[in-house]
């Protein structure tokens, strides 16, 4: 089902809006200004969700940030919150699989051992997006944040 048309305010109508990547491309890239910049962000999203599916077998992703608004400002990034279907499998991850998961998430206040350095923030896909993990029971908090307290909608992708 395609994403609904933009509201007069340049946002999607309120609610969680089921979408696939083709729907997201149609509304958030093709039907929005700054298509070249949005193409880059869409490519980052597409690659990111492909990498997520390799680590987390199934779940949902909510898409947010400046990317989901139709404004004259160039969107500089997008936000994704991941909701795994099986939280227990994430808790049991070890070694390279857990490392791969951490590589998909935005990390703040990171200390690296060699060479020794401190980074304020590490983001996946070269900083084009922020990836977050929704802990069980926190869905309402994320929905309020993503919808800007119910004033706009956001796409939900299921894999």
pLDDT, residue 155, reads: 98
pLDDT, residue 22, reads: 98
Give residue 40's domain range. Answer: 17-158
Structure token digits, residue 47? 């690659």
Residue 146: how many CB atoms within 10 A of its CB? 20
Is 29 within a domain? yes
pLDDT, residue 110, reads: 65
Is 97 within a domain? yes
Name the nearest CA neighbour of 68 among 57, 85, 80: 80
Structure token digits, residue 154? 């956001």
Quick check: bond before 26 cis, omega within 30? no
Is 93 within a domain? yes
Structure token digits, residue 13? 């109508």
Is 2 within a domain? no
Is 121 within a domain? yes
Residue 34: how many CB atoms within 10 A of its CB? 16
Name the nearest CA neighbour of 146 among 84, 83, 74: 83
CATH number of the domain where residue 106 is located:
3.30.460
Is 61 within a domain? yes
Number of folded domains that form the chain: 1
Tens digit of each residue's pLDDT, the chain (159 residues) = 799 999 999 999 999 999 999 999 999 999 999 999 999 999 999 999 999 999 999 999 999 999 999 999 999 999 999 999 999 999 899 999 999 999 999 987 767 777 877 768 778 898 899 999 999 999 999 999 999 888 999 999 999
């Amino acid at each position: 089902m395609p994403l609904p048309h933009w509201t007069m305010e340049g946002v999607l109508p309120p609610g969680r809006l089921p979408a696939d990547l083709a729907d997201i491309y149609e509304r958030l890239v093709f039907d929005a200004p700054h298509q070249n910049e949005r193409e880059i962000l869409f490519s980052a999203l597409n690659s990111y969700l492909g990498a997520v599916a390799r680590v987390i077998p199934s779940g949902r992703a909510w898409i947010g940030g400046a990317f989901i608004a139709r404004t004259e400002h160039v969107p500089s990034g997008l936000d994704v919150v991941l909701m795994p279907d099986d939280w227990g499998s994430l808790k049991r991850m070890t070694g390279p699989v857990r490392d791969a998961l951490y590589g998909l998430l935005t990390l703040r206040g990171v200390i690296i051992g060699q060479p020794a350095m401190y980074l304020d923030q590490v983001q996946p896909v070269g900083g084009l997006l922020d990836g977050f993990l929704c802990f069980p029971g926190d869905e309402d908090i994320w929905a309020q944040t993503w919808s800007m307290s119910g004033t706009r909608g956001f796409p939900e992708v299921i894999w």
